[in-house]
């Protein structure tokens, strides 16, 4: 293989756009609310307008890469993401911002699974595990650094700058992909795209997210919220029926779930990334609104998460390659649960070094034990022909976990003072339970192999 380091750099640059943009906006919610005079439910949609198309279309984006070429879809998705970032930065209204955020989500749905599929196709053996470990650790690190970068930019330049910063990264990723990345599989050998499945998945996730957002907000579980949940559930059943009828041509081949190990990996992904998504949304928001932190200070509070992930994830990827995924994927979420228990000590006047920092570090150590082994295990569970679909599914499940968590945070984001801190603690307890369930999924369902 020619230029392995440049190929790895290209995939990291492209995927980092999606990872960092998934978290950089979190620290800007207060500023966005002030600019557009928006309430808690509107602020939830600033996040979920991005996560919804990302979650719903990741499967289709991965399958499209399998059919039309991973490198080609990586370039298209990155270009779309960059253009949408300009739209976000220039948004004159909240409606415009939400539309541009949705376009960012579509671009991310194309670039993310294909960046990972390129690694799966271009690297093999120990080199693949090492490359994926670096890819996963940098992705998690950029997601954790997003609030720091966003906070600093918001405090010094303004919130619009957090979107303009995407442009040099997108440009570099496109240029490098065109020069160094070639598709290793013949284009057009995969099945035709499952467009009906994509429509039903989008409808299902959209209705469920909208219903959960209304239900968790001030309006409560109204008839509209319940109707949306019903529509979302019915659409999901329709999606599963379509996928079953299409067999290997499905965007989410149900045969993948014939393995208890793959079921365990999927459940662990949803639970663990749901808990992490709640942390990345709530921690900066609570520190700003209840703790009196500036945007930069709130973002800096999560920097240790990035540092620990960057240092420990590659090591844990190597460990998982030797001992198998079950042990790290069981122990990692247990450590995460311990970290969320420490979150319960955070109050409006909590000292950073003795209260916030220990919780962040412990959560980071647990996530580091799971991120790289999880990604490696998912890719190892399928053949190269379905690498795009498998990586797309895992990424979709991770983003869906974060999206559902955000949709359920309406009551917390709409609170103030002691009620905000109390809601934060309740959310932390739910995250403890999610992390424990993730650990149980790994222990009981994952054996020596994921296949």
Instruction: Give pLDDT tens digits for 248-266.
Output: 667 777 776 767 777 888 8
Question: What residues does each domain of the chain span?
Answer: 4-193+251-445, 194-250
Burial 39-64 (b: 16+ CB within 10 A, else e): ebbbbbbbbbbbbbbbbbbbbbbbbb
181 Cβ partners below 8 Å, 6+ apart?
7, 10, 70, 71, 74, 118, 122
Q: Into which CATH architecture does domain 4-193+251-445 fall?
A: Up-down Bundle (1.20)
Q: Which of 352, 373, 289, 277 is nearest to 51 (CA)?
A: 277
47 Cβ partners below 8 Å, 6+ apart?
25, 26, 29, 281, 403, 406
Question: How high is the pLDDT of residue 191?
Answer: 63
DSSP-assigned states of every residue in 101-130: HHHHHHHHHHHHHHHHHHHHHH--HHHHHH
- What pLDDT, in 10s, does the model give residues 73-130? 999 999 999 999 999 999 999 999 999 999 999 999 899 888 878 887 787 766 776 7
- Is residue 24 within 8 A of residue 280, CB to CB? The reply is no
Nearest-angstrom CA–CA distance, 104 and 274: 20
> Average model confidence (pLDDT) for the chain?
84
Model confidence, pTM: 0.76
Nearest-angstrom CA–CA distance, 445 and 50: 32
Residues in the chain: 451
Say how many C-beta atoms besides its own lie within 10 A of residue 356's C-beta: 24
- What pLDDT, in 10s, does the model give residues 424-447? 999 999 999 999 999 999 898 877
Nearest-angstrom CA–CA distance, 36 and 95: 10
- Is residue 81 within 8 A of residue 134, CB to CB? The reply is no
Nearest-angstrom CA–CA distance, 411 and 423: 7
**What does residue 293 show for φ and ψ, rounded to 5 degrees?**
-75, 150
Nearest-angstrom CA–CA distance, 333 and 181: 35
- Is residue 251 within 8 A of residue 389, CB to CB? The reply is yes
Highest mean pLDDT among 39-48, 376-385, 386-395, 426-435: 426-435
| Structure letter (DSSP) for residue 257 | G
Greatest CA span in the chain, whole angstroms? 59
Instruction: Match 């602020």 to its residue by tokens.
Output: 43
């Amino acid at each position: 293989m020619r230029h392995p380091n440049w190929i790895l750099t290209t995939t990291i640059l492209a995927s980092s756009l999606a990872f960092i943009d998934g978290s950089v906006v979190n620290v800007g919610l207060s500023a966005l609310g002030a600019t557009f005079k928006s309430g808690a439910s509107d602020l939830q949609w600033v996040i979920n307008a991005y996560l919804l198309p990302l979650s719903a279309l990741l499967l289709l984006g991965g399958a499209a890469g399998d059919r039309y070429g991973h490198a080609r879809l990586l370039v298209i998705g990155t270009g779309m993401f960059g253009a949408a970032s300009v739209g976000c930065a220039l948004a004159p209204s909240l409606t415009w911002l939400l539309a541009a955020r949705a376009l960012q989500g579509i671009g991310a749905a194309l670039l993310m699974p294909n960046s990972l599929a390129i690694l799966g196709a271009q690297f093999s053996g120990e080199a693949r595990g090492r490359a994926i470990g670096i890819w996963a650790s940098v992705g998690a690190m950029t997601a954790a650094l997003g609030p720091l970068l966003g906070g600093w930019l918001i405090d010094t330049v303004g919130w619009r700058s957090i979107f303009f910063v995407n442009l040099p990264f997108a440009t570099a990723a496109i240029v490098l992909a065109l020069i160094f990345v070639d598709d290793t599989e013949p284009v057009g050998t995969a099945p035709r795209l499952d467009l009906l499945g994509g429509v039903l998945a989008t409808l299902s996730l959209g209705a469920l997210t909208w219903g959960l957002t209304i239900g968790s907000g001030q309006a409560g579980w109204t008839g509209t919220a319940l109707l949306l949940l019903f529509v979302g559930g019915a659409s999901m059943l329709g999606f599963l029926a379509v996928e079953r009828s299409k067999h290997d041509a499905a965007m989410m081949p149900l045969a993948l779930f014939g393995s208890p190990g793959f079921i365990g990996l999927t459940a662990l992904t949803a639970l663990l990334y749901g808990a992490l998504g709640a942390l990345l949304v709530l921690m900066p928001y609570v520190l700003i609104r209840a703790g009196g932190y500036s945007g930069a200070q709130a973002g800096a509070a999560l920097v240790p998460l990035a540092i620990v992930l960057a240092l420990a994830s590659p090591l844990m990827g190597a460990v998982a390659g030797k001992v198998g995924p079950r042990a790290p994927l069981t122990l990692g979420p247990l450590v995460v649960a311990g970290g969320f228990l420490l979150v319960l000590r955070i109050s409006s006047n909590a000292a950073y070094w003795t209260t916030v920092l220990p919780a962040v570090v412990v959560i980071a150590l647990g996530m580091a034990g799971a991120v790289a082994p999880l990604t490696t295990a998912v890719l190892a569970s399928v053949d190269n022909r379905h690498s795009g679909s498998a990586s797309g599914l895992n990424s979709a499940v991770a983003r869906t976990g974060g999206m559902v968590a955000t949709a359920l945070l309406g009551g917390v984001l709409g609170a103030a003072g002691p009620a905000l801190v109390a809601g934060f603690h309740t959310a932390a307890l739910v995250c403890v339970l999610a992390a424990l369930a993730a650990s149980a999924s790994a222990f009981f369902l994952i054996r020596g192999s994921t296949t």
